[in-house]
């Protein structure tokens, strides 16, 4: 369950802070870094240093270290000779040799332009930070990395490759993304499923203003093609809490420009109920279609999302 991984991430954060390890994971700090490549390196290297171990270990061919046996571990990797000598249970850990294909899907529809606080990080900026960090993380594992960005239609596509100079292309295309237009998330996922010819990991970063029923068919299409799908649901904290202090608020739809005056004190309760219902419907849809789902807000340090991705990626 995620809360267990979340505790580990918090423990690692506390330990790294105590040891003085710099961790450039706060979104507002990241927004001051002009280069996505530099940002990705800072985030990933700081994250790895915070964990005080290499997260890129699996069960493959190159031995790296031992770790203590835990109930449920695969007994094939138990060191029986060491058990006989020491009467202690240890598992052999091996460096992963995956060479998988990781495709990052970034939503650039108009709603991704939103930032609740003045001068705050927009949802698209957060998505760019997260995508850049995940790309760097995957490249360190020798995985091929690709990028697809979409709004009303797919407008950016970089095929997944693993070669010198390719990451510069990924960072460059990510940095030029701009939010605008309506959301057609389900159509973009269907097109991606048709376009990807090799099985791999598909990471979707979006605010998910789309019907869960429409998404179900798109998720099924991706899964039918053999892809592992991870969905990061990015929202601004005010979209979740609706904690506006204004007596009268004029809301504007980022995609249609339609305006609606509201009284926050009157509509807040019903709004939160509908948002929670939408999030739960997304969770159920993802679970039913074997899609890993994670809700993140734009004020949340990126290590939570990285830890989630890494845990699920390692399991594959």
47 shares a domain with 177: yes
Same domain? 162 vs 262 = yes
- List, for residues 116-158, the tens digit of each pLDDT value: 877 789 999 999 999 999 999 888 888 899 999 999 899 999 9
Q: How far apart are CA 74 and CA 191, in angstroms?
A: 38
Is 89 found in the same domain as 29? no
Our count of domains for the chain comes to 2
Nearest 5°: the CA angle 195, 197, 202 is 75
Same-domain pairing of 164 and 205 = yes
Q: Which domain holds residue 130?
A: 2-55+98-314
User: Which DSSP string corresponds to 182-235?
Assistant: ---HHHHHHHHHHH--S--EEEEEE---S-HHHHHHHHHHHHHTT-EEEEEEEE
Q: Are 208 and 111 in contact (CB under 8 A)?
A: no
Q: What is the pLDDT of residue 93?
A: 58
What pLDDT is recorded for position 20? Answer: 41
- Domain identity same for 76 and 147: no
pTM over 0.85: no
Shared-domain flag, residues 19 and 163: yes
Element (H, E) at 313: helix 302-314
Asked whether residue 293 falls in the same domain as residue 242, the answer is yes
Same domain, 114 and 168: yes
pLDDT < 50 positions in the chain: 1-24, 52-64, 95-98
Residues in the chain: 316
Q: Write the pLDDT tens digit of every residue in 149-193.
A: 999 899 999 999 988 899 999 999 999 999 998 889 999 999 999
Question: How much is the pLDDT for 23?
Answer: 45
Confidence at residue 18, expressed as pLDDT on a 0 to 100 scale? 38
């Amino acid at each position: 369950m995620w809360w267990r991984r979340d505790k580990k991430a918090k423990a690692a954060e506390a330990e790294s802070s105590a040891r003085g390890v710099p961790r450039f994971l706060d979104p507002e700090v990241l927004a001051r870094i002009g280069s996505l490549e530099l940002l990705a390196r800072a985030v990933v290297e700081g994250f790895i240093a915070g964990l005080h171990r290499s997260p890129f270990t699996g069960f493959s061919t190159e031995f790296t270290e031992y770790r203590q046996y835990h109930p449920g571990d695969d007994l094939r990797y138990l060191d029986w000779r060491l058990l006989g000598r020491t009467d202690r249970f240890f598992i052999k850990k091996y460096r992963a040799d995956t060479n998988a294909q990781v495709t990052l899907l970034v939503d650039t529809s108009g709603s991704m332009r939103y930032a609740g606080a003045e001068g705050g990080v927009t949802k698209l900026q957060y998505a760019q930070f997260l995508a850049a960090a995940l790309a760097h993380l995957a490249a360190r594992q020798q995985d091929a990395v690709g990028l697809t960005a979409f709004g009303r239609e797919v407008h950016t596509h970089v095929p997944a490759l693993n070669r010198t100079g390719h990451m510069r292309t990924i960072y460059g295309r990510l940095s030029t993304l701009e939010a605008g237009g309506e959301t057609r998330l389900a159509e973009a996922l269907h097109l991606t499923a048709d376009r990807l010819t090799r099985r791999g990991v598909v990471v979707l970063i979006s605010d998910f203003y789309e019907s869960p029923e429409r998404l179900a068919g798109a998720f099924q299409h991706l899964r039918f093609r053999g892809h592992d799908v991870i969905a990061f649901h990015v929202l601004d904290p005010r979209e979740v809490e609706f904690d506006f202090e204004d007596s009268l608020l004029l809301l504007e739809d980022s995609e249609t420009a339609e305006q609606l005056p509201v009284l926050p004190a009157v509509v807040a309760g019903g709004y939160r109920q509908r948002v929670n219902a939408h999030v739960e419907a997304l969770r159920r849809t993802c679970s039913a279609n074997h899609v890993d789902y994670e809700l993140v807000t734009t004020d949340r340090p990126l290590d939570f999302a990285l830890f989630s991705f890494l845990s699920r990626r390692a399991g594959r």
